[in-house]
Amino acid sequence: MAASNASTPTPASVGAKRRLKLLLFVVVLFLSWAAYTLIVQQYHTGERNSQLQAAKDKLTEVQQKNEQLQKEIERLNDDEYIGQIARQQGLGLPGEKPIQMEKPSP
């Protein structure tokens, strides 16, 4: 009778197995949710990094253009540079006669 008693599960061990299965299910469910959240966050992080890189590239481009414009402003404050631009456009100082060169015909 003792041998048959050991092979039949007691109600307490059946309940413990059921609780362990339920706990395992909850743990697997939680880990699945955590993995999904991690994957989604990694995807969004990648998108944000590409947007950040594009913004940095644009910032660099705008900064370079700003530097060029600042140099142009500095050059325009020079009277000699303004005179060069005026002469290139056919203007000159009073009393100056512009010299016009004819281009040789081919």
Q: What is the pLDDT along the chain (106 residues), one digit of tens a residue?
A: 444 555 677 877 888 999 999 999 999 999 999 999 999 999 999 999 999 999 999 999 999 999 999 999 999 898 888 888 887 877 767 777 766 778 777 7
pTM above 0.85, yes or no: no
DSSP 3-state of 77 = coil
Question: Is the Cβ–Cβ distance between 75 and 81 less than 8 Å?
Answer: yes
Answer yes or no: are the C-beta atoms of 64 and 56 closer than 8 Å. no
* Domain residue ranges in the chain: 58-91
